[in-house]
A and B are shown apart, each in its own frame.
Chain A
Amino acid sequence: MIEMSELKCAGRGTLASGDRVGTGCLACSVPAKQKNLFAWVGTVTATLALTLALCAMFTPPAHAQNLTYIQDPKWQAPPEASAKVNPLANKPQLAAGGKKIFLRDCAQCHRPDGTGLPPAANLTLPLVQQQSDGALFWKITQGNTGKKMPSFSGAPDAQRWQVVLFLRTLERSARAGQ
């Protein structure tokens, strides 16, 4: 119960001092404008709360590089694919384009620095970096759909070679960071 000295009631006049009003009555006696205000505040609060929840949901986690990455033994490039040479190898400036593609299409799982969110591969590890350009190109092209690595065969050949160029810079960055 709430004791109120004076309360304007929409369409009901004014409550006298000392009148005792139940909360149910209070709710029904709030003016229409005030109700609109409550609705606005409620909606804005709910929207903000939802926004924060969504932001939390979509903000990439800052933890855990994949230090325990184990390569799928069944996912090996055939010898002829491994032997392919990167046609852009003598144009290192094109790695910048590869970086852009990597950040756009790969960083979600492999992280921007290539260290990988488990179970995605840590691309800075020697296990990965010791593979030939051709083998990396083959893996980007084929994907490993059973292990959640999509095929990127729909991207132009040159762009996939650009990504391979960029992957080579990850090893150098990792060494510099050590």
Chain B
Amino acid sequence: MPRPKFAFFVIFLAIALCAGSSIAVAQESPYFTTYDHHLEEPGNLELEFSSTSAPVGGTRADSAFVAPYLELEYGVTGWWTTELYLEGQGRVGDSAVFTGWRIENRFRPLKREHWINPVLYFEYENINEATRILKETPGGPPDFGAPNAESSRARAHEIEAKLILSSQVHNWNIAENFLAEKNLSRSEGFEFGYSVGASRPLSTLASGSDCRFCAENMSAGVEAYGSLGSTVLGFTGRGNSQYIAPVVQWQVSSNSRVKFSPGFGLNDHSYPFLLRFSYTYEIRGFGRKLAALWGGR
């Protein structure tokens, strides 16, 4: 009996082969936690397979973990992008668990490019306390020591809002995100966090020939992210996670790219070392083709 995984792999491969000639990746920043003002192009579907891992545990007796997540990002219009996240986590010496899902929406209120381009972000999270993808780190540090069996039972319904500010300065992208999060499942007050990043492509001119490893396909930068405190724990900065992380992106082909980032915890409430990796595959014109398949325009 063929295994369902094999069938899914064949289907995915079919999409990749058939879509290869008609889809593309445009301009994407190499960040993992920071958003810039470039939304997904209308009708495009982006599949991103990512993981956040800590090869060594935190200083509070947490063990090493890997937290994979799948991100489906779709450009609804030129000013609205929506995303769905599915995430999990596995720890050394513990179990692997599904940690929940998130849905987020980004809106770009100004149509034209400006010196600073604002984007509004709203997210709903249905996750549990075992989550470790660390897309954002508001409030205090995670509960480092709790085993998955215990932490995965603690559900959290959270809403989150971000103000994204982003600028293009010559060939540099500079982005600042400020976030506020509220856990609707228990009284934790409002938690605040930030993420800032700067990046640029390694080469600004495109060569005439197809090349896979040339500098024009690479971009690099750095991002810093962490907590700004909460209304319950205060804003003194004590007990908050803080990270700094170089980021590198390689556009492998016209429709796929790979990102990599080693992150370094800056205090005792952070994981000392985080490793982030992602593979992204973009299907351009997905919405239009899906509509055509069903007889629409």
Q: Which residues of A does B touch, CB under 8 Å?
A: 36, 39-40, 43-44, 46-47, 50-51, 53-61, 93-94, 96-101, 104-105, 107-109, 141-159, 162
Contact = CB atoms under 8 A, between A and B. Distances in A.
B214 to A, nearest CB: 11
Given A150-B41, A156-B201, A159-B204, A57 B113 contact: no
Contact of B22 (A58, A105, A146, A155): A58
Contacts of B23: 58, 108
Interface in B193-220: 201, 204-210, 216
A156 B170 CA distance: 8
A59 B289 CA distance: 9
Contacts of B79: 145-146
Contacts of A43: 2, 7
Given A51-B14, A100-B206, A159-B204, 16 more contacts: A53-B293, A54-B14, A57-B292, A60-B22, A105-B24, A107-B24, A108-B22, A108-B23, A108-B24, A145-B108, A146-B79, A151-B38, A152-B26, A154-B26, A155-B26, A156-B205
A162 B208 CA distance: 10
Contacts of A154: 26-29, 36, 38, 168, 173
16 contacts: A40-B2, A50-B14, A51-B10, A51-B18, A54-B19, A55-B18, A59-B22, A93-B208, A96-B208, A97-B206, A101-B206, A105-B26, A148-B42, A154-B173, A157-B204, A159-B206
Interface in B48-94: 77-79
Chain B interface residue bracket vs A: 35 or more
Contact of A152 (B27, B77, B216): B27
A150 B42 contact: yes
Interface in B1-55: 1-2, 7, 10-11, 14-15, 18-19, 21-29, 36, 38-39, 41-43
B284 interface: yes
B23 to A, nearest CB: 7
A36 B216 CA distance: 50
A44 to B, nearest CB: 8
A56 B15 CA distance: 10
Nearest to B43: A148
A61 B292 CA distance: 10
B206 A142 contact: no
Contacts of A100: 206-210
A16 B7 CA distance: 40
Nearest to B24: A104
Contact of B78 (A40, A97, A148, A153): A148
Interface of B: 1-2, 7, 10-11, 14-15, 18-19, 21-29, 36, 38-39, 41-43, 77-79, 108, 111-113, 168, 170-171, 173, 201, 204-210, 216, 254, 283-285, 289-290, 292-293
A60 B94 CA distance: 48
A6 to B, nearest CB: 27
Contacts of B113: 141-143, 151, 153
A43 B99 CA distance: 31
Nearest to A46: B7
A151 B26 CA distance: 10
Q: Which of A39, A60, A153 has the most CB of B within 10 A?
A: A153
A162 B14 CA distance: 33
A57 B206 contact: no
A125 to B, nearest CB: 22
A97 B211 CA distance: 11
A98 B293 CA distance: 32
Most buried by A among B15, B23, B27: B27
